Amino acid sequence: MDIRFHGAAGEVTGSCHLVETAGRCILLDCGLIQGGRKDEERNREAFPFDPKGIDAVVLSHAHIDHSGRIPLLIRAGFAGPVYTHRASKDLCRIMLKDAGYLNEKDAEWENRKRQRKGLAPVAPLYTMQDAVAAMRRFRGLAYDEKTEILPGIDIRLRDAGHILGSAIVELWLAKGGTRRKLVFSGDLGHRGAPILRDPTPVADADLVVMESTYGDRLHRSRDETQAELAAVIANARAERGNILIPAFAVGRTQEILYHLARNYDAWGLAEWQVFLDSPMAIEATEIYLRHNDLYDREAAALWDGNRHRPLLPNLSFTRTGRQSMQLNRVRSGAIIIAGSGMCTGGRIRHHLKHNVWRGNCHVVIVGYQARGTLGRALVDGAKHIRLWGETIRVAAKIHTVGGLSAHADQAGLLDWYGRFEGRPPVVLVHGEPEASSALQAALGSATNAAVRVAGPGERIDLTDAAR
Ligand code: ZN
């Protein structure tokens, strides 16, 4: 009876942990490694275990760094089911398909270069077709219901409050007379974040496997964030300009829409037109709307109070490229939410081209911008940007709004762990080394628990782990 950490050990992406008991193998997550080219090449390597020997996958949530290698696992021979929350199943349907599409585009681009060099073509990591086929393995579960997935192995998903459908996984294992309970945090949400409930406290475990993304950080307060957004909208209105918001399709986009809906009157939004200009974000938003039974109390109240009128009466979904291009002519009064979140692709680049050289344009950055991306260049104060071979002056005002993180900060992580009885041992995953060691130190001094940071490929014997 043991667990091995095959991904998101010493890093943030590629979440993948293998649990073995009594000859059965369960994979917790099967995520894509993300980052630079070198990192992403690792996705093509063979799995460090036999995919044919995996009996089931339990998926914590739909983010691609947790789900993105499932189509590869299936292609490599995995023949079992994928258990996840039913909302995660809905989100995976669009996210894995999108990943397949991007893989195909990447391969096309790569192969044009290879052809010119006289090299043999490469195959996409996996295709849209692979992603669609993978969805047939998905079994959607509800929160809080215990399910026997294999003889002697039960799971229960608890709301992790990170994105829609995100789950903490409770896993009960038996081998002969030995019984152990493992709790895998998945990604934990930020307390008080809009729309979703706070991460569910869990009381008992023999071993806790816990994320540590922001183990070394405290987030800015939500009130400050709201005030920042309000100020941007007021300034842009005074200057009669447009507002551009580059946003990730799942989670952040819905959070922004929620803030706009909730403050519709207070922020004078009736004078604006709001455009959601991303087919994927539109689909994700529709899934969020469909699963309104998962909302927190505040969002549920807003939802119930607006049965008879739309939440944001001036919100338009621009699905087609043609509708999107029509926005190029709008000079003022438009709030445009478009992907990609770091401006590396997608429709936001067109909107930047048509707006960013105007002094009355406001760009609101609401998420993390990785080094080397166009979004990061804007945050870092670039005076000019290059788009489609054209140099464009940046005259727009660039605002970075913090406090919208989908992850718990150090205080949130300490609080969640603090609800366990008897201080079970903890293994930290899903964090850069500095973040994990900061959380290790903080947890150790706050609780006296035995805390370690998982190393890549490390194995922990669960029969040894006991309360
Ligand atoms: Zn996540």
CA of 59 to the centre of ligand 1 (A): 11
**Taking a C-beta distance cutoff of 8 angstroms, is the pair 260, 335 a contact?**
yes
pLDDT at 37: 76
Q: Which residues pair with 180 in a beta bridge?
A: 173
pLDDT at 465: 66
pLDDT at 466: 54
d(CA 116, CA 326): 37
Q: What is the pLDDT along the chain (467 residues), one digit of tens a residue?
A: 999 999 988 888 899 999 999 999 999 999 999 877 788 889 999 999 999 999 999 999 999 999 999 999 999 999 999 999 999 999 999 999 999 999 999 999 999 999 999 999 999 999 999 999 999 999 999 999 999 999 999 999 999 999 999 999 999 999 988 999 999 999 999 999 999 999 999 999 999 999 999 999 998 888 888 999 999 999 999 999 999 999 999 999 999 999 999 999 999 999 999 999 999 999 999 999 999 999 999 999 888 877 656 778 999 999 999 999 999 999 999 999 999 999 988 999 999 999 999 999 999 999 888 778 899 899 999 999 999 999 999 999 999 987 888 899 999 999 999 999 999 999 999 998 999 999 999 999 999 999 999 999 999 999 876 54
CA of 52 to the centre of ligand 1 (A): 26
> Which ranges of 58-85 would DSSP assign to H, the alpha helix?
64-67, 70-75
Q: For Cα atoms 429, 159, 21, give the angle at the middle one, nearest 5 degrees.
A: 55
pTM, two decimals, is: 0.93
pLDDT at 373: 85
CA of 15 to the centre of ligand 1 (A): 10
CA of 9 to the centre of ligand 1 (A): 15
The structural domains of the chain, ordered by start, are 2-217+406-464 (3.60.15.10), 224-404 (3.40.50.10890)
CA of 355 to the centre of ligand 1 (A): 31
pLDDT at 133: 96
CA of 4 to the centre of ligand 1 (A): 20
**Taking a C-beta distance cutoff of 8 angstroms, is the pair 183, 148 a contact?**
no
Q: Please state, in angstroms and as integers, the Cα–Cα distance from residue 359 to each residue in 128, 202, 325, 362, 366, following that order.
A: 41, 51, 21, 8, 20
CA of 406 to the centre of ligand 1 (A): 8
With CA atoms as reference, report the closest residue to 4 among 429, 413, 417, 425: 429
CA of 371 to the centre of ligand 1 (A): 20
pLDDT at 211: 97
CB neighbourhood size of 399 (10 A) = 19
CB neighbourhood size of 228 (10 A) = 18
d(CA 27, CA 231): 46
CA of 463 to the centre of ligand 1 (A): 29
CA of 112 to the centre of ligand 1 (A): 33
CA of 61 to the centre of ligand 1 (A): 7
